[in-house]
Structure 1
Amino acid sequence: MRLQDSPRGASLLLLAAVLLSSTALAQEPEVPDWAEGWKQTWLEAYKNGSLQLSAKVNPRYLGNGPQELLAVLELRAPNFPPGEHPPASVALIIDHSASTAGRHLLIARRAALDVMDGLKDSEHLAIISVSDKPRVLHVAPLTPENRQKMRTYVSQLQAEGRSDLSAGIDAANAELASPSEANFYKQVIILSDGRPTDGMVDQDGLAELARVAREESSIHTNTVAVGNDADIDLMAGIAKQGWGFAATLNDSSATERVAKRQQLDLVRRAANAVELRVRAGPTVTLVDVMGAEATIKGNLARISVGEIGPGETIPIVLHLSTDNVGKQVRPIDLARVELTYEDALVEKRRTQNLTVEAELNPAQARGRGSLNVEALRAGALAYVKEHTAHADEAAEDGDQLTAKELLDSTRENVKQMGALARLEITDALALLNERSSQILQQARPPPKPDPLGDKKKKSSKLQKKKKR
């Protein structure tokens, strides 16, 4: 008698089917209710991660001898509905005390304007400027008239006086605790070097203000530490108690990310705590990182991105130089990249590694065929954004000559990048022309003197704006 013909055999077959079915169910993850509408996207993220890292290099082929390259790292998140969220009511605290004179205040003003530009007309905004005592532009909907009034006010802020940061925080919390803001998602964003001189000056006390505002008025406090000499610990301590993000800004070319982080605080994100670590190859020098805040030490770079939202693509450009010798065609390791992040879709810590390569091939290294046009276009734009920002900072420090020299050298370098593909860098050249006119023609009021006579030393006009 065959096994399937017996009652016992039928039972065994049924048991085996149940076990196989259970195993299949165990392998198939349970999709959360909020992802039912985009189940396949969520399952792919569950399997492969919510971020994908890739790289493009220009030029693709290397010749013998010294050569410069642009490697474009690309972080890409899947597209999915961000979820419903209430409109935002934001209070921007801008420290314009005498210690922020020059590039620090330029960075803070630009970040504030970027946040303002990202808000909808139906959302609310208050501006609190901090020096000896806070001055308040009261919370109001961003009608065209109010938006222009606030933009003008922020653009004309000058560095003066001392810094009473605690009074500014109290004023911001009072604005957002108003009954008129009850149906809004309430956010405070502090733009400061984190070095208050008056009022409450200790980290624990300032953090306590943020905690009380969160618990009593549902206000989330975010901080942006401006400048290489900012007190990052103090600013991060405030953000931790305020359940907000803590960012650093050392370069006015990266201010747009602050506005993006403000927006991502309201929606479902793809990833949190995103960070890249880059190690240049043995025959490679890491010259610069463009498009994101980076800490560079020798041939190592740490790039903190923060949060990434649905459908977002972030390009980060590595400026590299290399010196290779040989006729044998072979791959050259330009950099090894480690991506780490918290996958916000599956609540899991993830790591991804990538080796960035180009081919040593002297026979192919000449001519247009060696170009990676996409990498060239992205790299040229990033180069213009960063170096025009440096020129703007020099002009803000009162050094028009250095600003002009930086703009002229940027123009020459961009032309060299596009020597074989000029049409591919037209966007970069157009941006350079626009920014050059703005930087050289803008009237800049001189900063008022610091009554303490204790201004922070300004960094060299030509110095890179990143920690090394």
Structure 2
Amino acid sequence: MNKTAVFVSLAGVLALTALVLGLPPSPFSTPPEDSHGASPVRPHGPLNLQPRAEASGALKMTARLSHPYIPPGTSELFATVDITGMEVPGARRMPVNLALVIDRSTSMRGYKLQQAKQAARHLVDLLREDDWLAIVHYGSDVRGLRGLPATPDNRKQMLQYIDGIWDDGGTNISAGLQEGRAQVRASGCTGCVERIILLSDGQPTEGLIEDADLSALVRDIRTGGITVSAIGVGTDFNEDLMQGFAELGSGAYGFLEDAAQLGSLFQKDLRQASTSVARDVALSFTLPQGVRLEEMLGYRFQQEGRRVTVRLPDFSSGQTERVVARLIVEDARVDSPVHVTEVSLSFRPPRDNERQLHVVDLGARVTPRMEEILARRDKEATVYAARALSAKNLTLAAEALREGRKEEAKSYVASNKALFEQAGEVATPSAVAADLAEQQELLRDYEQAEHGAAVDAAVKRSKSKSLKSFGRLGSTY
């Protein structure tokens, strides 16, 4: 194991030790410079400060602090926020305007393309007459069947078109995405949820091939109101790129080793699109003086002054996503209520441009009594933070495994055992039993991954697991 592996693994364990014991931040993590300055945390009067708060509407938000009570001075704690799309009893699902964009490059030849075509047929069967579907397939070039409403006659045409798809050429993902966008825009589907489902088994070889250029294209598609979901099949595709497509496109990411599972993923994505309850979702943390962001675990974010914003996927009914932020509180004073952060959730309903807003204020009390700090810890927030910290290690482990440093990769996974055991001391051993079992399974997976496709598959499994552990629960298939 190299020194970097030891450093990061130990830092992760010490970070959670601070979380569990209510101690100051790990000496291994240096807080970033705060360009806006920091002043002592003062009592905050009129706000309704709570360590746990909820707000409900089309989206339900539950925000909590890992430590309702903190020690004087400087300490770290975690804010965890769960957002859930609410079920609407008796609601009729919304019509969808889909473009299914299928990779039919030569690497899809045989079994994978046969399964992709079978899944596409299954998707056609699931559509209602007020849904629209365009079918796009790409190799070096791109071809497509224009978007049509799923009437009985049009279904027959769609199925015939799917039967005629053949394998040929390279992997021109950008051309497929651009044609998918054109077909969705040209559709006559009024008031429909607009979505592209991208399928690929390889890396881009033609058209736009740079990650930054492809990401900019997906961002532009999303800006135009179209959601992008990305499904990778096999072990040769660029999982970081496809995950980025889903994040920037406000859709979902899926990894399949076996193309036979495509039908269930297409069905799941159709359900997500057609039961949409919120779009343009943004979660913000506004930090008062004396509190700063140490880390936003697993999410890209934008910071303007003391406001940190995370963009989230569009939400369907029943979908849950979680965000975990690691915060530093400075110069807290005994018996003073500390305003830790304002949490705001904004979104638009599917058919309404008026933005809705939920706002809660999270606060903690300061006490020198360590027994009170320990007794008041939030058990669920502790487990959620442990999972997010473990996801960082899994991401590092996946990269080490890809580069042939198997022992280092295993050390990252092994360090997660300590994280979850400590979290189990706060919650209960049963609360983390499944997490510990998953780490053991990953270690076995790494042991068996000797070379080639087996290593690539293990890397992709680890990264998919890390996404869910970060909190992307509903947008990772």
Q: Give the TM-score band, short-chain normalised.
A: 0.5 to 0.7
Q: How far apart are residue 88 of structure 1 and its match? A: 9.8
**1:276 touches 1:337 (CA, 8 Å); kept in 2?**
yes
Task: State the partner residue of 1:150.
Answer: none
Deviations 1:209-241 (A, max 9, x none): 6545x469x996526799973533312445677
Deviations 1:154-195 (A, max 9, x none): xxxxxxxxxx96747526979x99999818999x9xxxxxxx
Residue ranges of structure 1 left out of the alignment (5+ in a row) = 1-46, 94-126, 145-163, 189-195, 448-464
Q: How far apart are residue 346 of structure 1 and its match? A: 6.4
- d(CA) in 2 for partners of 1:222, 1:168: 18
Describe the SS at the equivalent of 2:346. Answer: strand
Describe the SS at the equivalent of 1:235. Answer: helix
Q: How far apart are residue 62 of structure 1 and its match? A: 0.6
> Residue 263 in 1 paired to residue 292 in 2?
no
Instruction: From the superposition, tell whether residues 413 and 48 of structure 1 become closer, same or farther in structure 2 (CA, over 3 Å).
Output: closer
Counterparts of 1:162-311 in structure 2 under 5 Å? Answer: 167=140, 169-170=142-143, 182=155, 207-208=181-182, 211=185, 214=187, 221-222=195-196, 229=212, 231-238=214-221, 244-246=226-228, 257-258=252-253, 262-267=270-275, 269-290=276-297, 293-295=299-301, 297=303, 300-311=307-318
Q: How many residues align?
A: 336
Instruction: From the superposition, tell whether residues 52 and 421 of structure 1 become closer, same or farther in structure 2 (CA, over 3 Å).
Output: closer
Q: How far apart are residue 275 of structure 1 and its match? A: 0.8
> Residue 415 in 1 paired to residue 415 in 2?
no
Task: State the partner residue of 2:88.
Answer: 80
> Residue 136 in 1 paired to residue 124 in 2?
no
**1:341 touches 1:349 (CA, 8 Å); kept in 2?**
yes
Residue ranges of structure 2 left out of the alignment (5+ in a row) = 1-54, 123-136, 163-169, 204-209, 231-239, 254-264, 455-469, 471-477
Counterparts of 1:328-367 in structure 2 under 5 Å? Answer: 328-344=334-350, 348-364=354-370
Deviations 1:85-144 (A, max 9, x none): 699999875xxxxxxxxxxxxxxxxxxxxxxxxxxxxxxxxx525589988335115999
Counterparts of 1:15-54 in structure 2 under 5 Å? Answer: 49-54=57-62
**1:61 touches 1:362 (CA, 8 Å); kept in 2?**
no
- d(CA) in 2 for partners of 1:350, 1:394: 43
> Residue 378 in 1 paired to residue 384 in 2?
yes
> Residue 438 in 1 paired to residue 445 in 2?
yes
- d(CA) in 1 for partners of 2:59, 2:390: 27
Q: How far apart are residue 372 of structure 1 and its match? A: 0.9
Deviations 1:388-446 (A, max 9, x none): 24422442344434423322333333333344444233233223222333244334517
Letter of the aligned partner of 1:354 in structure 2? V
Counterparts of 1:59-74 in structure 2 under 5 Å? Answer: 59-74=67-82
- d(CA) in 1 for partners of 2:453, 2:299: 28
TM-score w.r.t. length of structure 2 = 0.54
**1:56 touches 1:72 (CA, 8 Å); kept in 2?**
yes
Q: How far apart are residue 329 of structure 1 and its match? A: 1.0
Describe the SS at the equivalent of 1:339. Answer: strand
- d(CA) in 2 for partners of 1:131, 1:437: 33
- d(CA) in 1 for partners of 2:198, 2:158: 19
Describe the SS at the equivalent of 2:444. Answer: helix
Instruction: From the superposition, tell whether residues 425 and 308 of structure 1 become closer, same or farther in structure 2 (CA, over 3 Å).
Output: same
Q: How far apart are residue 342 of structure 1 and its match? A: 0.5
Describe the SS at the equivalent of 1:301. Answer: strand
Computing the radius of gyration from Cα coordinates, the structure with the larger value is 1
Q: CA RMSD in A?
A: 5.1
Deviations 1:29-65 (A, max 9, x none): xxxxxxxxxxxxxxxxxx9742232311112211134
**2:174 touches 2:214 (CA, 8 Å); kept in 1?**
no
Task: State the partner residue of 1:321.
Answer: 328
**2:181 touches 2:196 (CA, 8 Å); kept in 1?**
no
Q: How far apart are residue 308 of structure 1 and its match? A: 1.7
Instruction: From the superposition, tell whether residues 89 and 279 of structure 1 become closer, same or farther in structure 2 (CA, over 3 Å).
Output: closer
- d(CA) in 2 for partners of 1:179, 1:221: 22
- d(CA) in 2 for partners of 1:72, 1:300: 16
Identity %: 16
Task: State the partner residue of 1:427.
Answer: 434
**1:78 touches 1:270 (CA, 8 Å); kept in 2?**
yes
Q: How far apart are residue 282 of structure 1 and its match? A: 3.0
**1:57 touches 1:372 (CA, 8 Å); kept in 2?**
yes
**2:195 touches 2:273 (CA, 8 Å); kept in 1?**
no
Q: How far apart are residue 276 of structure 1 and its match? A: 0.9
